[in-house]
Amino acid sequence: MINVRAAMPLDTGSMAKLLNNLIEKGGTTALTRPVTGLDISEWMAVNAHAAAWHVALDDMEKVVGFQWISPHEQLPPNACDVATFVQIGQTGLGIGSALFKATAAAAKGLGYQWINATIRADNHGGLTYYQSRGFRTWHIDAGVTLDSGQVVDKISKRFDV
């Protein structure tokens, strides 16, 4: 059974470990350098009044996924950006669905009218996940160069809350 709750500073080490495994595997995030718990703590502090962070925990209270929304300088004030990360080998088990239920409610509570998800075009799992939540493509950035030098297209999808 998956339990979703607001993320806390004590979760940041586990969140960083999960994210670093995804970064190392490649192909599912635009992030290309490892992160630390301190990095995530700092991200959580930015726009804390306008952001929401959730973790998904398994039966052993281990972080198996996390998701956040926050404002983004390239979006209007009535929109927020979302990022979702699920432990390798744990996709398709309802973790993302449980996280998004909490995140969509938080977005509405924060006064956002829509949520933006920008996904690498080669991240088929991510594209499928957001599509299954009801996100629809509204913008495509072609030929984006990542920090690693890899060039990918990015697809932005919109969900109206």
Could you report the per-residue pLDDT of 35-89, keeping only the tens digit for each? Answer: 999 999 999 998 899 999 999 999 889 999 999 999 999 999 999 999 999 998 7
The residues with which 83 forms a beta bridge, in sequence order, are 68
Question: What pLDDT score was predicted for residue 148?
Answer: 78
Q: What is the pLDDT averaged over residues 84-104?
A: 88
Question: What pLDDT score was predicted for residue 94?
Answer: 85
The residues with which 56 forms a beta bridge, in sequence order, are 4, 65
Please write the tens of the pLDDT for every residue from 120-134. 898 888 899 999 999
Question: What pLDDT score was predicted for residue 139?
Answer: 96
**Count of structural domains within the chain:** 1
pLDDT at 92 over 80: no
**Rounded to 5 degrees, what angle do the CA atoms 124, 13, 128 make?**
15
Closest among 40, 32, 33 to 16, alpha carbons compared: 40
Q: What is the pLDDT averaged over residues 146-152?
A: 85
In this structure, of 5-9, 88-92, 136-140, 152-156, the range with the lowest mean pLDDT score is: 88-92
Q: Which domain holds residue 38?
A: 3-160
Report strand pairing: 52-57 vs 3-6.
Answer: antiparallel
Q: What is the pLDDT averaged over residues 89-93?
A: 72
Q: Which CATH number is 46's domain given?
A: 3.40.630.30
Distance of CA 119 to the CA centre of its chain: 10
d(CA 85, CA 83): 7
Dihedral of CA atoms 67, 135, 88, 33 in degrees, nearest 10, equals -70
